[in-house]
Amino acid sequence: MKQVTLIPGDGIGPEITEAVKTIFNAANVPVTWDEENAGQTTFDAIGELIPSTLIASLNKNKVALKGPITTPVGKGFKSVNVQLRQMFDLYSNVRPAKTTPGVNTRFENVNSVLFRENTEGLYSGLEIFDERLQIADSISRVTREGCEKIVRAAFEYATRHGCKRVTAVHKANILKHAGALFLSVFREIAKDYPDLQADDIIIDNMCMQLVVKPEQFDVIVTTNLFGDILSDLCAGLVGGLGVVAGANIGDEMAIFEAVHGSAPDIAGKGIANPTALLRSAIMMLHHLDLKDEANRIEAALEATLANKEECTGDLGGKANTMQFAQNIIAKL
Ligand code: NAI
């Protein structure tokens, strides 16, 4: 049995978490859950966004599954997601985007994985505001070490998964330091992987290429802000945030998460789509080397998604969250 920290999160978080737990139970997955919450609900209850009991659980288990978290609006509240990534040096944000039969999209045959640097760049927290002059500076700090870690993670993934091409996305023509450092590290590391096609593309061209011919890309690697935006763009190509998985991975720890938000507009109604969290949980099973369980659940999910009637409302179906989960279980 492997123990995993489970963070249900806010809004629809507990509902989609329950669905994933039910499916794991039915599939006899050898995982036990160590449940600790974070976010708005926790803050309202105990005055802390990330309780020390959660940090202890993460340090102990090293693997977590996380639902969406609401960051309270207002000064002084730093995003829980950003804090967890920085606290545990979860430098790779990994976002697969693959078209699924039955899920309506404008494109077919999209199958890419985006590696976003998760702790540096414009999210380093280096911001200065001159009140008198009304000038704001947000500093993009990019380090050689940070670039090396994310680029190597992308090439290693490509090698392990039999991918053919790794594409770096940058703006080195304008960002003469931050962009150039990332690009030169990419070109250096690419030499260690002669069997892979390595190329690079400027962010603006990449946006155009992705909405014209997305099936040409395989593994994509980029810095924090570009990755934040591109990963949602890629999600849109394959059916939206409700159906894509995400993971934050470091050398010591990995947190798998639903990439959509807490959906306050539908929270408590029992109609949320658990696919994004389930797909993240499947990624987690691969990470834990539970490949048979991962493949069984994935096959049952794909078979369910192929039949619209069995899906939740956002995918054009009539099922609620738990009926959708039961439809998956019936196919295990
Ligand atoms: P959102 O993703 O929660 O909702 C956008 C729209 O998508 C809503 O109409 C919602 O009903 C729908 N939706 C989202 N997930 C769904 C699902 N699984 N099934 C069916 N419909 C779904 O984005 P929004 O409204 O901008 O953010 C709400 C809260 O979530 C905010 O407090 C924000 O800070 C937080 N958030 C947290 C994230 C995380 O923890 N990873 C990511 C994005 C937002």
Q: Report the nearest-CA residue for atom 31 of ligand 1.
A: 70
Q: Please give the distance, rounded to the nearest whole angstrom, from the Cα atom of residue 12 to the centre of ligand 1.
A: 9
Residue showing tokens 């789509």: 273
Q: Is residue 300 within 8 Å of 332, Cβ to Cβ? A: yes
Residue 129, H or E segment:
strand 127-130
Same domain, 51 and 77: yes
Q: Please give the distance, rounded to the nearest whole angstrom, from the Cα atom of residue 263 to the centre of ligand 1.
A: 4
Same domain, 117 and 229: yes
Q: Which atom of ligand 1 is nearest to the CA of 40?
A: 32
Q: Which CATH number does the domain housing residue 161 bear?
A: 3.40.718.10
Same domain, 128 and 212: yes
Kindly report, residue by residue over 59-104, the tens digit of the pLDDT.
999 999 999 998 877 667 788 998 999 999 999 999 999 999 999 8
Contact 262 CB / ligand 1 (< 6 Å): yes
Contact 275 CB / ligand 1 (< 6 Å): no
The number of distinct structural domains making up the chain is 2
Query: Where does the pLDDT of residue 298 fall: very low under 50, low under 70, confident under 90, or very high at 90 and above?
Result: very high
Range of 219's domain? 106-237
Same domain, 125 and 225: yes
Kindly report, residue by residue over 213-249, the tens digit of the pLDDT.
999 999 999 999 999 999 999 999 999 999 999 999 9
Q: How far apart are CA 324 and CA 5, in angstroms?
A: 24
CA atoms within 13 A of residue 144's CA, in its CB half-sphere: 3
- Could you say which of 207, 237, 267 is where a domain stops? 237
Q: What is the pLDDT of residue 79?
A: 86
Residue 142: both structure tokens together:
């990019």
Q: Please give the distance, rounded to the nearest whole angstrom, from the Cα atom of residue 322 to the centre of ligand 1.
A: 19
Same domain, 63 and 84: yes
Q: Examine residue 19 and state whether it is found in any structural domain, yes or no.
A: yes
**pTM of this structure:** 0.95
Q: How far apart are CA 50 and CA 40, in angstroms?
A: 10
Closest residue by Cα to residue 273 from 229, 310, 227, 231: 310
Q: Residue 287, SS3? A: helix
Same domain, 215 and 276: no
Q: At what angle do helices 291-305 and 275-287 cross, to 10 degrees?
A: 160
Contact 108 CB / ligand 1 (< 6 Å): no
Q: Report the nearest-CA residue for atom 24 of ligand 1.
A: 261
Contact 70 CB / ligand 1 (< 6 Å): yes
Contact 41 CB / ligand 1 (< 6 Å): no
